């Protein structure tokens, strides 16, 4: 466990936040710093063909050592962290032999990781927790996945007697902003099937996810001195608030779970003269997803009729539910479930209330379910990671590889 812990602590020391406003690939050049470290580490482990391209993709192969042909299996994790919270100067806390009591994250902020709010903590009594210091995110999403893959690679390279087929490795940028595989060369990667190691709690496995879109709204108001504004002012902030209030309240993230979709406002900034709003739109059901996009278009149309043509709406699809692409290859899900059981883990199969690189890859001919990396409370200062869960993720990777040797 100490080896995988050292890897994780090294990886989270790099600030790799992606930037949704950037048009470059990757969206932030600072992601290259970690990617270059991973490239060097792969070479040091003896993975000779490891490479890093201009778009921020590290790809590597471990050749088969078997005398029969078996499928090439890929494992993928992303290096970027969410821009929703700072990933700079992360100061992790390591809580050994967790006793089930509230964990003090930050004394000055009186911030605790409390089982009363996060009851799943009690499942990890006696284990080692890695937490934040209450000022940044932790980066387990998805550097726990990166560490799990690299630990598995290290084991394979150190134990050539272990039989395995072709193993493909990839580390990607920009997953958190939906562009993780925008320029990913599936053919060059060379896997028949793949798994993203990007899930949450131990045992999680997912092969269905949200259909996803991004909506950007520009409101052009008209500012007039408030003392003389009657019948003349068009307040962009008021119109933006009205638009948001016309969306169904019960379809906000804080009121939904399981297969329920949502509208989520992620930014609202502006002045009386001009305002910008950004939303993400999510639903597992494709028809409901289309209805959500249509509703937003209807609201924009209504406000344009009411106030004159002041609202400009742009909706862009991001990714789609991978279930339809994975179901014809359910044996890859079954093999992952068998691998978990062999590792003493009960599989928890449920839909992702989000997305992964695997969703887009599945639509590009590479069926790619998602496997747990072990973390909880991603994207914020309450994020934490049980060390034993990350270690089990690495074991599951090795056992998945073993499953394919039995074909």
- Please indicate whether residue 242 is annotated as part of the active site: no
Residues 248-259 have a mean pLDDT of 95
Please, are residues 361 and 187 in contact by the beta-carbon 8 Å criterion? no
Question: Please, which residues have CB within 8 angstroms of residue 171's CB and are 6 or more apart in sequence?
Answer: 35, 38, 57, 58, 76, 77, 78, 79, 146, 149
Give the pLDDT mean for 167-185: 95
Last residue of a domain, one of 277, 302, 319: 319
Question: Minimum mean pLDDT among 67-76, 130-139, 164-173, 346-355: which range?
Answer: 346-355
Average pLDDT over residues 108-113: 94
pLDDT score at 97: 97
Q: Which of 15, 141, 175, 403 is catalytic?
A: 175
More confident residue, 199 or 41: 41
Catalytic annotation, pick one of 41, 80, 283, 357: 80
Q: Give pLDDT tens digits for 267-303.
A: 999 999 999 999 999 999 999 999 999 999 999 999 9
Contact assessment for residue 176 and residue 81, using Cβ atoms and an 8 Å cutoff = yes
Answer yes or no: do 119 and 49 share one domain.
yes
Boundary-marking domain end, from 294, 319, 344? 319
Do residue 175 and residue 43 come from a single domain? yes
Question: Using 50, 70 and 90 to split pLDDT, how confident is the model at 204?
Answer: very high
Mean pLDDT of 98-109: 95
Residue 283 falls in the annotated catalytic set: no
Are 227 and 187 in a shared domain? Answer: no
What's the CATH code of the domain at 153?
A: 3.40.630.10
What's the pTM value of the predicted model, to 2 decimals? Answer: 0.87
Domain boundary among 285, 303, 319: 319
In terms of C-beta density within 10 A (0-12 exposed, 13-18 middle, 19 or more buried), how is residue 349 classed?
middle
- Please report, for the domain that includes residue 299, its CATH number: 3.30.70.360
Q: Is the pLDDT of residue 125 over 80?
A: yes
CA–CA dist 346, 342 (Å, integer): 9
| Per-chain mean pLDDT for the chain | 96
Q: Find the mean pLDDT for residues 248-277.
A: 96
Per-residue b or e along 207-238, where b marks 16 or more CB atoms closer than 10 Å to that residue's CB: bbbbbbbbbebbbbbbebeeeeeeeebbbbbe
Helix (H), strand (E), coil (C) string for 241-262: HHHHHHCCHHHCHHHCCCCCCE
Count how many domains the chain has: 2
User: Structural domain of residue 99, as residue ranges?
Assistant: 2-209+321-405
DSSP secondary structure string for all residues of 178-204: T-TTTT--HHHH--SEEEEEEE-STTE
Asked if pLDDT for residue 1 goes beyond 80, the answer is no
155 and 38 in a common domain: yes
């Amino acid at each position: 466990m100490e080896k995988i812990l050292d890897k994780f602590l090294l990886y989270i020391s790099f600030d790799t936040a992606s930037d949704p406003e950037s048009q470059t690939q990757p969206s932030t050049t600072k992601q290259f710093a970690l990617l270059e470290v991973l490239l060097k580490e792969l070479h040091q482990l003896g993975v000779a063909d490891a490479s890093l391209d201009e778009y921020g993709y590290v790809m590597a192969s471990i050749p088969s050592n078997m005398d029969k042909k078996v499928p090439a299996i890929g494992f993928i994790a992303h290096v970027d962290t969410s821009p929703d919270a700072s990933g700079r100067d992360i100061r992790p806390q390591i809580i050994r032999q967790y006793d089930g009591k509230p964990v003090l994250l930050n004394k000055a902020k009186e911030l605790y990781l409390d089982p009363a709010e996060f009851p799943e903590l009690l499942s990890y009594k006696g284990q080692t927790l890695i937490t934040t210091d209450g000022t940044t995110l932790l980066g387990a999403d998805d550097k726990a996945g990166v560490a799990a893959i690299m630990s598995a690679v290290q084991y394979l390279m150190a134990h050539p007697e272990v039989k395995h087929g072709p193993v493909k490795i990839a580390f990607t940028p920009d997953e958190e902003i939906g562009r993780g595989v925008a320029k990913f060369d599936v053919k060059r990667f060379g896997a028949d099937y793949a798994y993203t190691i990007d899930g949450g709690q131990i045992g999680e496995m997912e092969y269905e996810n949200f259909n996803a879109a991004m909506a950007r709204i520009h409101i052009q108001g008209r500012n007039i001195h408030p003392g003389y504004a009657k019948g003349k002012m068009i307040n962009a902030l008021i119109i933006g608030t009205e638009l948001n209030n016309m969306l169904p309240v019960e379809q906000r993230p804080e009121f939904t779970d399981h297969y329920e979709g949502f509208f989520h406002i992620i930014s609202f900034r502006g002045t009386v003269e001009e305002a910008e709003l950004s939303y993400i739109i999510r639903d597992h059901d494709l028809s409901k997803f289309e209805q959500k996009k249509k509703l937003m278009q209807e609201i924009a149309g209504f406000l344009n009729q009411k106030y004159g043509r002041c609202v400009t709406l742009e909706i862009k699809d991001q990714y789609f539910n991978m279930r339809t692409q994975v179901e014809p290859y359910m044996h890859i899900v079954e093999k992952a479930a068998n691998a978990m059981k062999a590792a003493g883990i009960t599989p928890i199969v449920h839909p992702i209330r989000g997305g992964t690189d695997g969703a887009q890859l599945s639509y590009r001919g590479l069926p790619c379910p998602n496997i747990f990396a072990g973390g909880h409370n991603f994207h914020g200062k309450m994020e934490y990671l049980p060390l034993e869960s990350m270690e089990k993720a690495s074991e599951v990777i090795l056992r998945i590889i073993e499953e394919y040797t039995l074909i």
